[in-house]
């Protein structure tokens, strides 16, 4: 099977930058739980239908028959984030690639979570998917290109990892950090 070139992982291109123009009263976020390995196919169909969505993808360099290739895999396997009105929701479900459409009660929080995940991916830092996150100390990065991102610290055998999470699906993305760039968040 050939490895495909990068495809759009969101629509419209400036989804998070143009949030005010895209966010309307009749549109809301839904989390689409997809059938196995159908995330990118669904994203292609949503893109063709001009339906706003976000599918966080991570690039990974591998070797196939001695040749270096780049593949792009979903950060959260089985999930596509859809910003839709009722007509667009029905169209997404009609693709037969969705197992369940999960309603999001805290729209504002999901906007913020997804924007942070997007920023983390765009940083180019090596990211690791994190499943079933447990509560830890909340911190904010205080310097560098990721300054302002808020997340949680996890302690692992290899050191500390900064985790940005999508609370609604209890998954996230992490990267190794140095304690010197972190500040504890006190609300």
pLDDT in tens, 11-37: 999 999 988 787 777 899 999 999 999
Within a 10 A sphere around the Cβ of 109, how many other Cβ atoms?
Answer: 14
Task: Give the C-alpha distances (Å, rounded to integers) separating 83 from 16, 40, 55.
Answer: 11, 16, 11
Q: What structural domains does the chain harbor?
A: 1-104 (3.30.70), 122-187 (2.30.30)
Report yes or no: 30 and 42 within 8 Å, Cβ to Cβ.
Answer: no
CA–CA dist 150, 138 (Å, integer): 7
Alpha-carbon span 145 to 178, nearest angstrom = 14
Whether pTM > 0.85 for this model: the answer is yes
Q: CA 184 to CA 50: how far, in whole Å?
A: 41
| For residue 172, pLDDT beyond 90 | yes
- Say if CB 31 and CB 104 are below 8 A apart: yes
Let me know: does 80 contact 138? Beta carbons within 8 Å. Answer: no
> pLDDT over 70 for what percent of the chain?
95
Q: Give the pLDDT band of residue 136 (cuts 50, 70, 90).
A: confident
Copy the structure tokens of residue 169. Answer: 């699906």
Give the pLDDT confidence score for residue 134 in this predicted structure: 67
The predicted-structure confidence for 79-131, as pLDDT tens digits, reads as follows 999 999 999 999 999 999 999 999 999 999 999 999 999 999 999 999 999 88
């Amino acid at each position: 099977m050939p490895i495909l070139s990068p495809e759009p992982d969101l629509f419209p291109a400036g989804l998070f930058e143009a949030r005010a123009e895209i966010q309307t009263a009749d549109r809301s976020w839904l989390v689409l739980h997809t059938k196995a390995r159908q995330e990118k196919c669904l994203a292609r169909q949503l893109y063709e239908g001009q339906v706003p969505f976000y599918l966080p993808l991570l690039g990974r360099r591998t070797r196939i028959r001695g040749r270096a290739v780049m593949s792009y895999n979903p950060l959260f396997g089985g999930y596509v984030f859809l910003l839709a009105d009722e007509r667009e929701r029905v169209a997404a479900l009609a693709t037969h690639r969705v197992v369940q459409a999960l309603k999001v009660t805290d729209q504002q929080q999901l906007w913020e979570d997804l924007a942070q995940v997007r920023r983390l991916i765009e940083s180019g830092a090596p990211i690791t998917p994190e499943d079933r996150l447990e509560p830890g100390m909340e911190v904010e990065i205080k310097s560098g290109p990721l300054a302002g991102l808020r997340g949680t610290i996890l302690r692992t055998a290899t050191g500390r990892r900064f985790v940005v999470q999508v609370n609604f699906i209890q998954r996230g993305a992490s990267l190794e950090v140095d304690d010197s760039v972190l500040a504890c968040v006190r609300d």
